[in-house]
Amino acid sequence: MKRVILYIVLGALVVAGLVAAFRPLRQRAGQVATYLRVMSGDTGDVMSSANYQRFASRREAVLAMKAALLDVARIESLAVANSGRPVTTFLATDVTFDPNKVSVWISLWRDRWVAAAASSRFNSTMTCMITAMLDTVTSRYQPGAPVCAEAWFPESIAVMPRPRPK
Q: What is the pLDDT of residues 106-154, one digit of tens each?
A: 888 888 888 888 887 666 677 889 888 877 787 777 888 888 887 655 4
Together in a domain, 69 and 129: yes
pLDDT digits (tens, 9 = 90+) for 5-33: 888 888 888 888 887 877 787 888 888 88
Query: What pLDDT, on the 0 to 100 scale, is given for residue 121?
Result: 67
* Concatenated DSSP letters of 3-49: HHHHHHHHHHHHHHHHHHHHHHHHHHHHHHHHHHHHHHH----GGGS
To the question of pTM greater than 0.75 for the whole model, the response is no
What residue numbers bound the domain in which 11 lies?
Answer: 1-42
Q: Residue 77 corresponds to which amino acid?
A: S
Together in a domain, 28 and 67: no
pLDDT digits (tens, 9 = 90+) for 25-75: 788 888 888 877 776 665 555 565 666 776 777 888 888 889 989 988 888
Query: What pLDDT, on the 0 to 100 scale, is given for residue 84?
Result: 74
Per the domain annotation, does 165 fall within a domain?
no
Together in a domain, 20 and 85: no
CA 76 to CA 89: how far, in whole Å?
Answer: 10
Res 164 pLDDT > 70: no
Together in a domain, 111 and 145: yes
